Structures are given as structure tokens and as C-alpha cells.
Amino acid sequence: MKVPDTSKWRGWWKGWYGLIPARFIGKTDPLVGLDIGSRAIKLVQLEQRDQGYRLHRCGLKRLYPGMLDGERSPNKSALVSAIKELFEECGVRVTRVAISISGPSVIIKRIRIPMMAMEEVEQYLVWNSQQYIPYDSDELYLDFHVVPQVNPGRKSTQLDLFLVAAKKDLVEQRRKLVENAGLDPVVCEVDSLALTNMYILTDCPNSHQTVLLVNIGASGMNMAVVRGGKPVLMRDASTGGDRYNDRIRSTLHCSEKRADQVLFSQVEERDFLPLLAEVHEEIGGEIKRTIEYLAETEPGGTMDKVLLCGGYARAPGLVESLSRFLGLPVEHIDPFHGVEVDESGVDRDALYNLAPLAAVGMGLASRRAGDR
């Protein structure tokens, strides 16, 4: 039997240690949240204060369709220029960044293993990862996140945790892209956990509630269930906002860019709205599957509401359609809620348009080097 090389088994929640050579980085040093999506790059810089956070910088750079494909050749990619331009336009001088990944090359599973000391968990998972992840461990970077006990006073014989695996080529492509833009990727995590961090950071006044956070991007959705201020379920789905564009393009015979403009405009072409109902139902179906899975795995748990974010969260009629379909309150989340705004560096009037796109970036910007 091949002995796993545990020296290579290190996670992104630990701050890339094991993925790139370790170097001295202060744990309290601020990081810039950099969310690289298929249609836009989003940047968030927070300043931690005694009573919370202050939004220091925030901005985005739109990408044309297919531009993210250039990530496979980051030295020549226009993405590098786009990232540099975004930092320059926002006036950000900090080069240490927290980034994230998601999609079909990322697997998140909640598992239970025998109770053991934290220092033993890594080696246990190295030896047993193929029980949970259907890939050779040599192809993956792995990490875990422990789920806190609901009743910490009760002695348990099992440890509850999220096991996360990502294909090495995906992680390395993203790392090289960011480094070629002159930045230092210190932390890398999954989008779903970044959503959880954002919610706890900015909008968690009712910690007893169970909420489902849904980030609707162009190529897919990230979902995270948070109960009592703790993550209990994370899941990605391939249904995304591109489905809206496909319906509009096939009806109007227009370009992808024009379809995107039409979707969020107030023009006569909005008579295609009945077509969007089909996509609303697809999105609702994915959300419903997540809620049903939670009910099966967490008996007695009920969902209080669904909170939407992402570039397509404001698709016409989506909130109303999902609320009827799910029988639950559905709202847009404000990732800037309760956060002080530095008006010398942020255009307050622009925050409304930035809000749906900034959720993952906010969660990333709250991270510090070396934390979990």
C-alpha cells in the first residue's frame, strides 16, 4: 500500500500552507477579498475595528463572456490585466489576498468520524479520504472544517466535520493567475464558506434562525445553510444565471451581452418574462433539494428563510417566484449591513449595485492569514 505523503496534505483554510512555500505572515495582517467569477472580478477591503468592520474599498471589473477561460494560460491572460486595473482603480495597495474556488472540481461533504484529537484528524483523513471522495488523493488538495457541537456539554463519540477536496490543477491555475497579477494569495477557501463568513459578519442578529444563503452566479450556484450562527450544510449546483441568457438569446436572436442588458433593463422586450419562469423553477428546484436534504439529515430542523445574493439574484420576478414555490420568505441579503463605510474610499451611491455581487468578497475580506 502506498503511504500518503502527509507533508503535501495541507488545506486552503490554513492559508495555503503546503500549496506554496510557507513564509512569515502576521495572523492579524489585513487581506483583500478577491472574488474571481466568470462574469466579473469583485474586490473588497475591510478594516477591522473594535466594534466591527469598516468598508475601506470595494469595486468590480466586468468580464466579457469566455474571458475566464484565459485562466488556463495566466501569463498571457487578459484576466491578469483586469485584476491589476481593478486594484489600481480602487486605489488598493495591499497585495495579500484571500481568494476562493467553487464548481464541479470542488467537493464538499459533511461526514462523521471517530472522536480524536485535532492533530490526528489530518492523518486519519489522508488514509481514509477515498471512502468519501471518488478521486485519487494525489490529484487533490484536502482540508476540513469542524462543525461545533449543538450541545457542547454532552460527550460525543464522533467528530462532525466538513471534508473539502479540490482538484490541484484548479487551485494551481487560480494561484498562478493571482501571482502573475503581482498579488500574494495567502488564503483560499470555497465560496460556500465565504458566504457563511459574510452572513455571520454582517447580518446574523437572529442567531437562532436557520437560513439558506444562495449565491447565484452566471455558471452556477453556491448554497450554505447556517443555523445558530454555524454552518450545517454547504452545496454547489450547476444551475446559474446563464440559463436566463440562453432563453433570451433563443427568443430575440441577440448576443450574449445584449441578453444580459435586456434581462436587467426596463425595455419593451420584457414581454419575454414568461420564459424566465422556467429558469426560476430550475433554481427553485435546486434550492428545494437542498432544503429536503437538510430535513433528511438534520431531523427536526426547519428552514426560516432564504437569502439571495450574486449577479443574478435580482433577475425579474425571481424573489416572488421562489417564495411561492418554496413556501418560505425569500429576500436579498445586504452584505454591507452593519458595516461602517469609509466614504473617502467608497462611493456610497454605488453600493446598492455592488451589494448582490459583494457577498463572497466580504466573507473573504474578513479572513486573516493562518486562521481556519
Output DSSP code: residue 238.
S
pLDDT at 358: 96
How far apart CA 90 and CA 60 sit, in angstroms, is 9
- Say which amino acid occupies 153: G
SS3 call for 16: coil
The residues with which 114 forms a beta bridge, in sequence order, are: 158
Helix (H/G/I), strand (E/B), else coil: 151: coil
Which pLDDT score is estimated for 66?
65
User: Per-residue pLDDT for the chain (372 aa), expressed as one digit of tens each?
Assistant: 333 343 333 344 343 333 333 333 344 567 999 999 988 999 999 988 877 889 999 999 988 766 666 555 554 588 999 999 999 999 999 999 999 999 888 988 888 899 988 888 888 888 888 888 877 777 888 888 887 766 555 677 888 888 888 888 889 989 999 999 999 999 888 999 999 989 988 755 556 789 999 999 998 999 999 987 788 899 999 999 999 989 888 888 888 878 888 887 755 555 677 778 889 999 999 999 999 988 888 766 689 999 999 999 999 899 999 999 999 999 999 999 889 999 888 888 889 889 999 999 999 999 877 655
Domain coordinates of the chain in residue numbers?
A: 1-203+334-372, 206-333
pTM over 0.85: yes
Q: How far apart are CA 130 and CA 72, in angstroms?
A: 28
What are 344's three cell numbers?
473617502
Handedness of CA 344, 349, 355, 356 (dihedral sign): negative
Q: Are 357 and 60 in contact (CB under 8 A)?
A: yes
Give yes or no on whether 1-203+334-372 and 206-333 have one common fold: yes
Rounded to whole angstroms, the Cα distance separating 190 from 67 reads: 21
> What pLDDT is attached to residue 117?
87
Residue 238 makes CB contacts below 8 A (sequence gap 6+) with 104, 219, 220
Neighbours of 142 (CB within 10 A): 22
Nearest alpha carbon to residue 56 among 349, 339, 356, 367? 339
Distance CA 47, CA 72 (A): 33
d(Cα 174, Cα 338) in Å, to the nearest integer? 31
At the top level of CATH, the class of 1-203+334-372 is alpha beta
Distances (CA, A) of 244 to 41, 104, 191, 237, 314: 21, 21, 22, 16, 12
206-333, CATH topology level: Nucleotidyltransferase; domain 5 (3.30.420)
